[in-house]
Amino acid sequence: MDNTNSTICEVVTSLRGGIKINVHGYLMVKDKNRNNKYYWYCEQRDALQCKGRATTILNGEQHYLQDTSDHNHAPEASRFDIVKSINTMKEKARETDDQPAQIIQNAISSTSSSQEVYTYLPSNEALRKSIIEFVALIFLQNHSLYGISLFLKT
Ligand SMILES: [Zn+2]
């Protein structure tokens, strides 16, 4: 198999532990895999009835793009940054003693499209809540209940 001309797709882990990849700015959700061949569908499949799909070949740790189909909408590069920043928050919550509010602040300001993340976070209540709940849960595991009650008031 010759993968020399293939694009390597960046991988992110979603909030629920699923795998997503970035294919030309489109976030794709794992559908299934057969051995090292992975099948992906567009994250906007249900929301926009998008039929965008992709297949990749997993070689070592990397997904090589093999085939992709058209989408019925523009790519959302900033969504990818948002998912990445969420992962950063999750890691920081596990690894540091920082306050959750501080973790969220740092993660947002370090993304390449920080302005977009800023405007995105407050407007998407479900996503905002899931981030805060996750970071708060990790914080609870590491700290006292008093700490978390302080955080939830801010
Ligand atoms: Zn799509």
Q: What is the pLDDT along the chain (154 residues), one digit of tens a residue?
A: 444 457 899 887 766 667 888 888 888 999 999 999 999 999 889 989 999 999 999 999 899 999 999 999 887 756 566 666 667 777 777 777 777 677 666 665 655 444 444 444 444 566 666 666 666 666 555 544 434 444 444 4
Ligand 1 midpoint to CA 40 (Å): 11
List the Cα angle 108/112/115 in 5-degree steps.
60
Ligand 1 midpoint to CA 111 (Å): 23
**Residue 147 backbone phi and psi in degrees, to 5:** -60, -45
From the list 75, 85, 87, 92, the residue with the least C-alpha distance to 26 is 75
Within 10 A of 71 (CB to CB), how many other CB atoms are there?
A: 21
Ligand 1 midpoint to CA 136 (Å): 32
Please tell me the pTM assigned to this model.
Answer: 0.53
Ligand 1 midpoint to CA 60 (Å): 27
> What radius of gyration, in Å, describes the C-alpha atoms of the chain?
18
CB 148 within 8 A of CB 141: no
Ligand 1 midpoint to CA 31 (Å): 14
Ligand 1 midpoint to CA 81 (Å): 17
Q: Which residues surround ligand 1, an ion (CB under 5 A)?
A: 42, 44, 50, 52, 71
Give pLDDT, residue 114: 45
Give pLDDT, residue 78: 60
Give pLDDT, residue 143: 47
